Amino acid sequence: MAIEARNISKTFGRFTALRDVSLEVKEGELLALLGPSGSGKTTLLRIIAGLERPDPGAGTVLFEGQDVTNQRTGERRVGFVFQHYALFRNMTVFENIAFGLEVRPRSQRPSKKYIRDRVRELIALIHLEGMADRYSSQLSGGQRQRVALARALAIEPKVLLLDEPFGALDAKVRQGLRRWLRRLHDEVHVTSLLVTHDQDEALEVADRVVVMNQGRIEQVGAPEEVFHHPASEFVMDFMGSVNLFHGRIDSGKAVFGQLVLDHPNSAGADGQAARLFVRPYDLDIHPQHNGRPGLRARVERVQSAGPQVRVELVAETGEAVTVEMSHVQYRDSSVGPGDSVYVSLRDARIFMEDYTI
């Protein structure tokens, strides 16, 4: 089921949740809507589900090319999974999963045998064999969320919509469920939209990522494209830790204090403000200048607990700098708090402002 949202705008009183948003979802793909709170991702999901409507005359939703903007949610055949499970406490696992099938009008309701077989198939799919007779209070958070997913799939939806489904779970459970959801999607191939504010979740699970900010789409692309080739400062900053340096363009170079970088795309931009973004793992620490662009700094703190070593420094210009490296690299560097070092860049992104300084 291919989905298209065309020129969607949505306001709630004086607050504008969506501003002329257009998006296409390919048949069978898992698309992540990623952004901070208030970016519009959940509103867009609810409009696709039919739980909200665009502003009058301000947008169209199409399923397989058919306009469904004014269709009710039930007519769209969408499965919806919420953050807080929404399971019926007085029903068993089996009854929860079967609910969507059993409440259909009599003329559309499958046979009891079909429902029984379908539910058993789904219980096996979510790896909860032997738990069909348990109530939600007897399940862990991760198990409840898998039941919620199975219930959404029971009605054989054309589209599966997931609104921060793992947000209420602890980090370790979330990590396991992300991998499970990706495997599940590869098995069922239902067109799916996942709303999340967790960058790792979006990058690990999705075929494509849509980064949203203040009711607009900043970038759409494959996870590696969005992460390694951000289209804007917002995407670069939102998609992970960064070091930020303020500077200006001068004679075809970007100048950030003692750090001077060639910037061939800056013709005619002399005097414009510029900002340099560098990921912590794209910086190296050396005892002396090694000929690469970089800056002098003093080591303030070393945090070695975890899979990587985090080194916090202060540049000669007073700016805070963070470097991440492997434990092997850190041992080889022989640096510690108080040391004066040279920090060089392996990769960076420069964005120019639209005003001069």
What per-residue confidence (pLDDT) applies to 356? 32
The torsion defined by the Cα of 62, 67, 71 and 75, in degrees rounded to 10, comes to -70
Record: fold of 3-238: Rossmann fold (3.40.50)
**243-356 and 3-238 share a CATH fold:** no
What per-residue confidence (pLDDT) applies to 355? 36
Q: Say how far apart CA 351 and CA 333 lie, in whole Å.
A: 31
Domain ranges of the chain: 3-238, 243-356
- DSSP letter at 133 equals T
Q: Say how far apart CA 237 and CA 349 lie, in whole Å.
A: 11
Q: Which of 264, 263, 280 has its CA nearest to residue 320?
A: 280
- List pLDDT tens digits, range 185-233: 999 899 999 999 999 999 999 999 999 999 999 999 999 999 999 999 9
Q: Which of 305, 212, 316 has its CA nearest to residue 258?
A: 316
β-partners of residue 70 are none
The answer to whether the CB of 44 falls within 8 A of the CB of 5 is yes
- List pLDDT tens digits, range 312-348: 999 988 889 999 999 999 999 889 999 999 999 998 8
pTM: 0.86
Nearest 5 degrees, angle CA 270-CA 272-CA 275?
A: 125
Q: Which residues of the chain have pLDDT under 70?
A: 265-268, 353-357
Q: What is the CATH code for 243-356?
A: 2.40.50.140
Q: Say how far apart CA 41 and CA 29 lie, in whole Å.
A: 17
Q: Say how far apart CA 126 and CA 132 lie, in whole Å.
A: 11
The helix (run of H) or strand (run of E) holding residue 277 is strand 272-278
Which residue reads 């750090």 in tokens? 259
The helix (run of H) or strand (run of E) holding residue 42 is helix 41-49
